[in-house]
Amino acid sequence: MMSKIAVIPGDGIGKEVAPEGAKLLEQLSSARGLGLELEFFDYGADRYLKDGTTLPPEQLEAFRRDYRAILFGAVGDPRVPDSRHAREILLALRFQLDLYVNLRPVRLLADRFSPLVGKGRKEIDGVFFRENTEGVYVDVGGNFKQGTADEIAITEDVNSRKGVERICRAALDWARKHGEKTVWMSDKSNAMRHAGGLWQRVWKELARDYPDLELRHMYVDVLAMQMVLRPELFRVVVTNNLFGDILTDLGAGISGGLGFSASANLNPGKIGLFEPVHGSAPDIVGTGKANPIATFLTCALLLEHLGHDAEARIVEKAVDLAVAENVLTPDVGGSRTTSEVSEFVRAQVARLA
Ligand code: NAI
Ligand code: MG
């Protein structure tokens, strides 16, 4: 069976790292007969500045209908100061494809990258499930008496039972599949009683469906502190859009930074969007300093989504070898270029596949 994969490099270093990821996928596909069919799309600042196109609705339909995954680079370009194209492309993909799971692994690739004294890979590794379609990011709210001394601004926090339940189930199902025993739900239900109350009720109800798992809870402020003091507590965490945004950046911070951080936007069973967490990094475009490892780990998530778990492990192993030999870019203490690191990783994959 063929699997159609769209590749959208986007802007800046997205155009440097996404093609390296695509090459890796092509390589694995032919070595292991995965039947991946990659197709590049030029959505991004250049296209937007040329003809005003961001993401055509009929293309979105085609993605939904015919494709199983999108490998995305990054969007954001200084020539588009209001980032209109970026918002339209990424938000259209996330919201209109209803990709309600933002899965972000926190994975320390080697103990030397840990900023936490005495905490290594065993303690830091975990996976975060961030709700991706609701919360305070849905742009519901308004302003009153704007520009006066009495100005009022309201941003609503939108939480539906369906939305809360499906993200919690995604985390619990993932834990079950991966042999994890404990899942943490994090909210601020002591202060935000209406939304938090819903999360609390759903979480208690779900405990009945997952008797094999331990469903625990921690307030988000406490959890942020404990991620630094006792990260070993957290193997799987589920939380809302805003808290997840903040906690996962903290997670990136304690696991070596943006050059290593991968993410998936999912609606289980449907097309998924896979992207490194970093942006388009205009400050290093064209210098060969872009770290491709976040993209390779993103490819591993993509492969897993397609059911190619063994190939995902091969990619992770190849990345581990680059880390062990310090074949890395300057952001993580190496002295190699994007293409040198990429070639090294692909050479390891060639051996392992
Ligand atoms: P950024 O992630 O692009 O860069 C932050 C810092 O990290 C920079 O110093 C950059 O050089 C470094 N960095 C990032 N990725 C790296 C990599 N793979 N290898 C080595 N160094 C790396 O975030 P910033 O500077 O806030 O935003 C730049 C542009 O990217 C903006 O237009 C922003 O809107 C956009 N952006 C897009 C995202 C996306 O497409 N999902 C996410 C975040 C930002
Ligand atoms: Mg963020």
Q: Is 281 touching ligand 1 by the criterion CB < 6 Å?
A: yes
Q: 12 to each of 278, 279, 281, 339, how far by Cα in Å?
A: 11, 8, 6, 16
- Mean pLDDT in residue range 344-350: 98
Closest ligand 1 atom to residue 17 Cα is: 18
How many A from CA of 311 to the centre of ligand 1? 28
Cα gap 293→47, rounded to integer Å: 27
* Residues linked to residue 74 through DSSP beta bridges, in sequence order: 10
Cα gap 317→321, rounded to integer Å: 6
Q: Is 74 touching ligand 1 by the criterion CB < 6 Å?
A: yes
Q: What is the pLDDT of residues 222-277, one digit of tens each?
A: 999 999 999 999 999 999 999 999 999 999 999 999 999 999 999 999 999 999 99
- Mean pLDDT in residue range 8-28: 98
Q: Is 55 touching ligand 1 by the criterion CB < 6 Å?
A: no
> What is the three-class DSSP state of 82?
coil
Cα gap 150→188, rounded to integer Å: 28
Asked if 258 and 104 touch (Cβ cutoff 8 Å), the reply is no
Whether residue 56 is predicted with pLDDT greater than 90 in this model: the reply is: yes
Whether residue 80 is predicted with pLDDT greater than 90 in this model: the reply is: yes
The string of DSSP codes covering 28-40 is HHHHHT--EEEEE
**Among residues 111, 221, 309, 320, which one is catalytic?**
221
pLDDT in the model for residue 225: 98
Extract long-range pairs of 52-60: CB within 8 Å, 24+ residues apart.
54/84, 54/85, 54/88, 54/89, 54/92, 55/88, 55/89, 55/92, 55/93, 60/92, 60/93, 60/96, 60/97
**Within the chain, how many helices (H) and strands (E) appear?**
12, 12
Asked if 75 and 15 touch (Cβ cutoff 8 Å), the reply is no
Whether residue 91 is predicted with pLDDT greater than 90 in this model: the reply is: no
pLDDT more than 90, % of the chain? 97
**Among residues 66, 173, 209, 249, which one is catalytic?**
249
Asked if 254 and 116 touch (Cβ cutoff 8 Å), the reply is yes
**Residue nearest atom 8 of ligand 1, based on CA coordinates:** 281
What are the φ and ψ backbone dihedral angles of 128, each rounded to 5 degrees? -105, 135
**333 burial class (0-12, 13-18, 19+ CB within 10 angstroms)?**
exposed
Length of the chain counted residue by residue:
353
Q: Return the CATH class of domain 1-100+267-353.
A: alpha beta
> What is the three-class DSSP state of 75?
coil
- Mean pLDDT in residue range 280-292: 98
Whether residue 139 is predicted with pLDDT greater than 90 in this model: the reply is: no
Q: Answer yes or no: same fold for 1-100+267-353 and 115-135+151-256.
A: yes
Report helix angle 309-324 to 14-32, nearest 10: 120
> Could you tell me the pLDDT band of residue 1, with boundaries at 50, 70 and 90?
confident
- Is 177 annotated in the active site? no
- Is 204 annotated in the active site? no
- Is 188 annotated in the active site? yes
The best mutation among 83, 263, 278, 329 to test binding of ligand 1, ranked by most ligand atoms within 8 Å of the C-beta, falls on 278
- The continuous run of DSSP H or E covering 8 comes out as strand 3-10
How many A from CA of 279 to the centre of ligand 2? 10
Question: In this structure, which topology does domain 115-135+151-256 adopt according to CATH?
Answer: Isopropylmalate Dehydrogenase (3.40.718)
pLDDT more than 70, % of the chain? 100
Q: What is the pLDDT of residues 319-334, one digit of tens each?
A: 999 999 999 999 999 9
How many A from CA of 249 to the centre of ligand 2? 6
**Among residues 137, 157, 289, 331, which one is catalytic?**
137
Asked if 236 and 270 touch (Cβ cutoff 8 Å), the reply is no
Domain ranges, ordered by start, for the chain: 1-100+267-353, 115-135+151-256
Whether residue 7 is predicted with pLDDT greater than 90 in this model: the reply is: yes
Arithmetic mean of pLDDT over the chain: 97
Closest ligand 1 atom to residue 295 Cα is: 18
**Residue nearest atom 44 of ligand 1, based on CA coordinates:** 279
Q: What is the pLDDT of residues 184-229, one digit of tens each?
A: 999 999 999 999 999 999 999 999 999 999 999 999 999 999 999 9
Asked if 279 and 12 touch (Cβ cutoff 8 Å), the reply is yes
- Mean pLDDT in residue range 94-112: 95
Q: Is 283 touching ligand 1 by the criterion CB < 6 Å?
A: yes
- Is 317 annotated in the active site? no
Q: Is 256 touching ligand 1 by the criterion CB < 6 Å?
A: no
**Among residues 43, 188, 289, 331, which one is catalytic?**
188
Q: What is the pLDDT of residues 151-184, one digit of tens each?
A: 999 999 999 999 999 999 999 999 999 999 999 9
The best mutation among 15, 261, 280 to test binding of ligand 1, ranked by most ligand atoms within 8 Å of the C-beta, falls on 280
What are the φ and ψ backbone dihedral angles of 43, each rounded to 5 degrees? -65, 135
- Cα dihedral sign, 195-86-269-248: negative
pLDDT in the model for residue 319: 98
